[in-house]
Amino acid sequence: MSGPVYHSVLEAIGDTPLHEVTRIDTGKCRLFLKLENQNPGGSIKDRIGRSMIEAAETSGALKPGGTIVEATAGNTGLGLAVVAGQKGYKLILIVPDKMAQEKIFHLRALGVDVRLTRSDVGKGHPDYYQDIAAKLCAENPDYFYANQFENPANPAAHEETTGPEIAAQLASIGLAADAIVCGVGSGGTLTGLWNYFSKSGASTEMVLADPEGSILAEYVATGKLSKDVGSWMVEGIGEDFIPPVLDLRGVKNAYTIDDAESFATARELLKAEGIIAGSSSGTLISAALRYCREQTQAKTIVSFVCDSGNKYLSKIYNDFWMADNNFLELDMKGDLRDLILRKHAEGNSIIVAPNTDLKRVYGQMKLYDVSQVPVLDGDELLGLVDEEDILLRVYQQKNFNGVASDIMTTDLVTVDAGEELTRLLDLFTHGMVALITHKGKYQGLVTKIDVLNHLRMTQ
């Protein structure tokens, strides 16, 4: 069957597929995922990007060629960027600095003015992303502040499109949604879906998936706003306040999901179902699976792949990042080998051969963002090349002619894996790197940041 032919990318927003989870245990329930990663901007936020801009055009708040401003953890910005670019608007985004680099690269490639700010401060702080956006618009009255947290066009997008799509897709196979599992960033998805299903007479329950550290799940459980706000690494959902557009009346169950479970579930979804989902999708699907497995009667449950995991390849789908942040269980040896992030025995160390040309050595350093590279002949450690060695050689010769063995340092100090951590600190204070060996064989390189990560995870 052939699909539609579009004449604008905006026509491709919405009407996303509904996928049934069949290779992960869902208990007595059937779990369906709305694949919002199939939107042209890669996320569910394309819907509200279009809705908010079109509503502003209709009201006259946004004039032709005008400037849009928004505070966003990423996907709303991408949704706005796709629509703004097609309609000829400028876009300024105020973004917390925990956003994945892939999102920032994507935004800047779309021509967006991205301004980073702190992610470790709350509402009322001068560096808080929403307050910066509001101030910028106050100082520039001609700017349009999209303000997804207060904009009624945000939930309206889901009431008018997402909800009807879900109902129609399930009806086509003789089903109706008993529960929908949502996260809350601005609250538009949950509120819009609640508005649609409650008005249609359906008895659909709304279930909240909330990152550990957010105040929303506790608010649902107790009706009280906690001041004990934590931090979380999942992007795009969880809050330290109640967004004005959020309506929690339909929520009877709320699940708190920590980062480790969210990331593990996203990775499991990729392996089991072949769907690469973002970090917030891991939170939603974790909560959906818990809800499904708790039911004693068969139910039809819907949740979301909110965005594409392609935006998180450097994070949750990167084993080194996961290990670096203590989200992967590693084979621990009980010695200094446990501090090595890229282990040579596993084929993960960044190394060069003695006859590797200098341009390639430099390329390896740039590619893997390292400042020194061990030189090995097979498993034998011969020397070490650092960025200063290459810099001096290229500056003096005015070219990259030569190979690693021409400039490598051979006066090496190695550290047996059985030695104490203080031995590494002694090397670092003398400006040296730690080359770890075990039974005379090279194991890998430990840097200062590796030791700091080890101390952070163990103290």
The secondary element (H helix, E strand) that includes residue 382 is: strand 380-386
Measuring CA to CA, how many Å separate 135 from each of 50, 149, 266? Answer: 24, 15, 36
Query: In the structure encoding, which two tokens stand for residue 258, read together?
Result: 């920590």
Phi, psi of 22 (to 5 degrees): -125, -10
What is the chain's Cα-based Rg? Answer: 26
3-class state of residue 416 by DSSP:
strand
Q: Give the number of other Cβ atoms within 10 Å of residue 176's Cβ.
A: 14
Q: Which of 51, 186, 214, 280 is catalytic?
A: 280
Is residue 90 among the annotated active site residues?
A: no
Q: Which of 34, 45, 87, 299 is catalytic?
A: 45
Nearest of 182, 184, 91, 193 to residue 144 by alpha carbon = 91
Q: CB–CB of 96/118 below 8 Å?
A: yes
Q: CB–CB of 305/275 below 8 Å?
A: yes
* Beta-bridge mates of residue 381: 376
The gap between the terminal CA atoms of the chain, to the nearest Å, is: 58
Is residue 203 among the annotated active site residues?
A: no
| Pairwise CA distance, residues 121 & 344, whole Å | 40
Active-site residues, by number, are 45, 280
